[in-house]
Structure 1
Amino acid sequence: MREPVDLRRQRILAAVQARGTARVRDLADELQVSVVTVRRDVEELTREGRLRRGHGVVRSTLPAAEAPAEVEPADAAAAGGDRVAVVVPVRHSYLNEAMHGARTVLEEAGVRMALHLAPQAPGTERPLVERALADGAHGLLIAPRWRGRAEEEADHEWLAALGVPTVLMERRPWRGSALHALDSVCSDHWYGAHLAVEHLVGLGHRRVVFATRHDSPTARSLRAAFAEIAEAHPLVEQWAWTLVAPEAGGDGPYSADETAELPALMRKVGATAMVLHGDVDALMIVQRLAEEAVRVPEDCSVVAYDDVVAGLGSPPLTAVSPPKTEVGRMAAELLLQRLSETPGSRPGRRVELLPRLMVRGSTSRMNEA
C-alpha cells in the first residue's frame, strides 16, 4: 500500500534533521520512492520553511551542528570524546523522532552524532556498531530492529560485551538476560494501552478488538499489555487480538482469529471499538471499514497507537502518543552522564516515560452512536 504523503514528508524531515544534511538520491533510496517524488516533497517542505534546498542536497533549518572552538583535551574527555554512534533501523518512522531528540541534546553538548542505518535483515546492527567503534565512537545509542525474539536473543551477548557506554532506546532488556543491567530509555507501553482501554470503557464500550503489529519489541509489549488489561478489566465483556496486517507478524504461527480480517472479527466479537497499532495502519483500516459501510465513530470507535499522522485522518483519529522525542533526549542525556562518570560508579538505569492520549473525532459514547 502506498505511504501517505504527509507521513513520507514527516520521514524526510526527520531524516534531514537527524543528520543536518542529506542527499536527495539517498533519501529516495531509503524511502523506496523516486527521486522526482522526493524533490517534490522537498520543494513543499522548503516552501513551508522547514528545509533548505541545495544542488542535490537538503539541509535542516535547525542550527547546524558545529564543532566547538578549540576544545581542550580535558573538556573533550568530560564530554565523552567527539563522537557518539546512533544505530537505528532504516525506514523506521517511529524512531525518527527519538533520533531527532537525541541529536538536539548531543549538539548542545558539543558532541558529534554519527548516524548508522541498519538494513532490514537480521544481524545487521552488529557490523555497524563494530565499525562505529573502530572509527572512534566513545558511546552508543541503539534501537535494534528485533523483528522476533530469536533475533533479539542473538544480540544479547555481543551488546553486553561492547565495553563502551551504551543506552537502548525503546527497547527493554529481558529479565535475567545478559542485557539486564544495560541502561535503557523507553515509553511505558503498558500505560499507553491502559489509556486506550480506559478511554473506550469510559465511553461505554464493552467489546473491543485489538489489532497490532507483532514484529518489534514495542509491538510484542503492546499485545501483552492489551491482553493483560482486557482480561482483568471488570467492564470488558469480550475482546480479541489480531495482526493489524499480514506482513506485521514476526513470531508466528498464529491462529485463524489472530490473522482474521478485521470486519469479520468485529462481527464475531460484537465489537463496538478497536485499538489499532500504528497510526498509518489505523488510517488504512478506517478507509477499508468505510468501504464496507462501517462508519467511524458511529458504528465503531477507533483509537490509534502512535500519533505521527493520526490527526490528519478523516475523521481525525484519537491516538495514544508515545513520547518519542523525549525518549531520544533522555537516552542521550543518560549516555552523556555515563561518558563523564567512572565506569561502574552507578548502577544501571531504566527510564520509562508515559504516553499521552490525544482525543479526537474517531471515538464517541455508545449512546451517541
Structure 2
Amino acid sequence: MREPVELRRKRILAVVHARGAVKVSTLAAELDVSAVTLRRDVEELARTGMLRRGHGVVRPIGDTGRTTAVPAARSGEPAGDGAAIALVVPERHSYLYETLYGARTALEEAGIRITLHIAPQIAGAERPQVERALAAGVRGLLIAPRWRSVTGEEADYGWLAEVGVPTVLMERRPRPGSALHAMDSVCSDHWYGIHLAVDHLISLGHRRLVLAARNDSPTARSIRAAFTEIAASRPEVEDWSVVLSSPDAGPGGPGTVEEVPDLAVLLRERGVTGAILHGDQEALMLVQRLTESGIRVPRDCSVVAYDDVVAALGSTALTAVAPPRAEIGRAAAELLMHRLAHPVGTTGPVRRVALLPGLEVRGSTRGAARPTN
C-alpha cells in the first residue's frame, strides 16, 4: 500500500529539523522518494511555512544557513571535529529523527558542535559510523542503534562498551546484566505506555484485545513484552493476542519468520473490540484495511496507535500513546553534557533515565457496544 502523503511529509520535516540543512537530492535518496515527488512535497511545505528552501537545500524555519550538524555518515573522510559531539541514528526512522531533533536543540543552545552520522539499514552499520567519529576526535557520543533483533543488539554490546568517550544511549535500554547495563541511557517507559493504552480500552468496556505490532526494534520488543504481561494480569481482559503488524515489520533472518494474519478476520473470529497498533504508519494502513473489510473504527473496534508521529493525520484521527520523543533527545544531550563536565565516579552513579509517555485521546476509541440478546 502506498505511503500516505501526510506521513511522507512528516518524515521530510523530521529529517530537516534533525539535520538543520539538507540537500534536496540527498533527502530524496535517504527517504527513498523520487526527486519529482520530493520537490513537490518540499514546495508545498515551503508554501505553508513549515520549512525554507533555496539553491537545492532545504532548511527548517529560523535556520539562517549556519550549519551546526555536519553529515559524515556517507563520506569516507574524517570530519575534523575535535570538539564535536557525534550523533548516530539509523536512516529512514522518523521516530528517532524527532529524538535527534531534541538532542540537537539542547546541544546547539549550549554552543556545542555536532556531527551527524546516519547508519544504513544493514546489520552492524553503527560500528563503522562510531569508529569514523572517534577517528575524527569527537569527545562524546549520543547513539540510538537500530538493533532489529536481539542477536544483533547483543553483538554490539562489547565494542560499544569500549568506545572510550562518554556515551549516552537514546531510546534504548540494554539487557540487564549486559556489558551496557552500566552505560548512561535515556528511554521512554514503554511498559507505562502500554499500560495507558490497555487501561483506556478497559475503561471503555473492551474485554477482548489484540496488539498488532512491529517486532524489529527494542521499542517494539518492549511493547510486545509489556502488553503480554499487562493483558495477562488484568482480570477484566477475557481474551488477548499479539500478532505482527505487517510482513516487513519483523527482524528478518533465519528462524524469525512470523505469520501476519488478516486483522479483520482475526477481530471477527475472536470477537475483538479493542486493538493497539504499532507503529503509526502500520496503524493508519491497518485501519484502512479494516474499513475496506467492513469493520468500522471506532463503532466496531476501538483503535489505539503507538508512537503518535502521524496518528492524528488519518481520516479518523487515532487515539495514540505518545512517547516523549524530543524530550528523550534533550534529556540524553543534557546527561551527556553533565558527564563531559563530570566524569563517571566524580558525581555519582551511572544514570538510566525513563520518561513516561502520555495518551492522546482522539476519535478512534469509544465505549464498547453492549451485546444484544
Relative to the length of structure 2, the TM-score reads 0.92
Task: Compare 29-38 and 337-346 and name the one that shifted more.
Answer: 337-346
How many residues are treated as equivalent by the alignment? 357
Map 1:273-352 → 2, pairs under 5 A: 273-345=274-346, 346-352=348-354
CA contact (8 A) 2:20 2:67 kept: no
CA contact (8 A) 2:321 2:357 kept: yes
Q: Counterpart in 2 of 1:45?
A: 45
* Structure holding more helix per residue: 1
CA contact (8 A) 1:310 1:317 kept: yes
State the alpha-carbon separation in 2 of the partners of residues 338 and 254 from structure 1: 38
Q: 1:137 to 1:254 in 2, by over 3 A?
A: closer
Amino acid at match of 1:123: G
Q: C-alpha offsets along residues 224-259 of structure 1, whole Å, 9 cap, x if unaligned? A: 000000000010000011000111112775798x53
Note if 1:365 corresponds to 2:364.
Answer: no
Q: Counterpart in 2 of 1:23?
A: 23
Q: Residue 246 of structure 1: SS of its match in structure 2? A: coil
Q: Residue 363 of structure 1: SS of its match in structure 2? A: coil
Q: Counterpart in 2 of 1:75?
A: none
Aligned Cα RMSD in Å?
1.9
State the alpha-carbon separation in 2 of the partners of residues 54 and 159 from structure 1: 39
Report how far residue 82 of structure 1 moved.
2.9
Report how far residue 367 of structure 1 moved.
3.5
State the alpha-carbon separation in 2 of the partners of residues 203 and 333 from structure 1: 39
Q: Residue 102 of structure 1: SS of its match in structure 2? A: helix
Report how far residue 342 of structure 1 moved.
3.1
Q: Counterpart in 2 of 1:3?
A: 3
Amino acid at match of 1:290: T
Q: C-alpha offsets along residues 88-138 of structure 1, whole Å, 9 cap, x if unaligned? A: 000011101101000100000101111111000001100100001111211
Report how far residue 181 of structure 1 moved.
0.2
Q: Counterpart in 2 of 1:161?
A: 162
CA contact (8 A) 1:65 1:107 kept: no
Q: Counterpart in 1 of 2:236?
A: 235
Q: Residue 293 of structure 1: SS of its match in structure 2? A: coil
CA contact (8 A) 1:67 1:110 kept: no
Map 1:173-212 → 2, pairs under 5 A: 173-212=174-213
Amino acid at match of 1:334: L
State the alpha-carbon separation in 2 of the partners of residues 203 and 43 from structure 1: 43
State the alpha-carbon separation in 2 of the partners of residues 368 and 141 from structure 1: 50
State the alpha-carbon separation in 2 of the partners of residues 255 and 310 from structure 1: 27
Report how far residue 65 of structure 1 moved.
8.2
CA contact (8 A) 2:46 2:52 kept: yes
Q: 1:222 to 1:234 in 2, by over 3 A?
A: same
Q: Residue 298 of structure 2: SS of its match in structure 1? A: coil
Q: 1:36 to 1:90 in 2, by over 3 A?
A: same
Q: Counterpart in 2 of 1:246?
A: 247
Q: Residue 247 of structure 1: SS of its match in structure 2? A: coil
Map 1:85-164 → 2, pairs under 5 A: 85-164=86-165
State the alpha-carbon separation in 2 of the partners of residues 58 and 214 from structure 1: 33
CA contact (8 A) 1:65 1:112 kept: no
Report how far residue 61 of structure 1 moved.
1.6
State the alpha-carbon separation in 2 of the partners of residues 143 and 265 from structure 1: 34
CA contact (8 A) 2:15 2:94 kept: no
Report how far residue 12 of structure 1 moved.
1.3
Q: Counterpart in 1 of 2:36?
A: 36
State the alpha-carbon separation in 2 of the partners of residues 223 and 50 from structure 1: 35
Q: Residue 180 of structure 1: SS of its match in structure 2? A: coil
Q: Counterpart in 2 of 1:62?
A: 62
CA contact (8 A) 1:141 1:331 kept: yes
Q: Residue 343 of structure 2: SS of its match in structure 1? A: coil
Q: Residue 357 of structure 1: SS of its match in structure 2? A: strand
State the alpha-carbon separation in 2 of the partners of residues 15 and 173 from structure 1: 26
CA contact (8 A) 1:213 1:277 kept: yes
CA contact (8 A) 2:143 2:169 kept: yes
Unaligned stretches of 5+ residues in structure 1:
69-79
Q: C-alpha offsets along residues 136-185 of structure 1, whole Å, 9 cap, x if unaligned? A: 21100001011000100100000000110000011002111000100000
Note if 1:224 corresponds to 2:259.
Answer: no
Relative to the length of structure 1, the TM-score reads 0.93
Task: Compare 336-345 and 212-221 and name the one that shifted more.
Answer: 336-345
Q: Residue 248 of structure 2: SS of its match in structure 1? A: helix
Q: 1:368 to 1:12 in 2, by over 3 A?
A: farther
CA contact (8 A) 1:81 1:111 kept: no
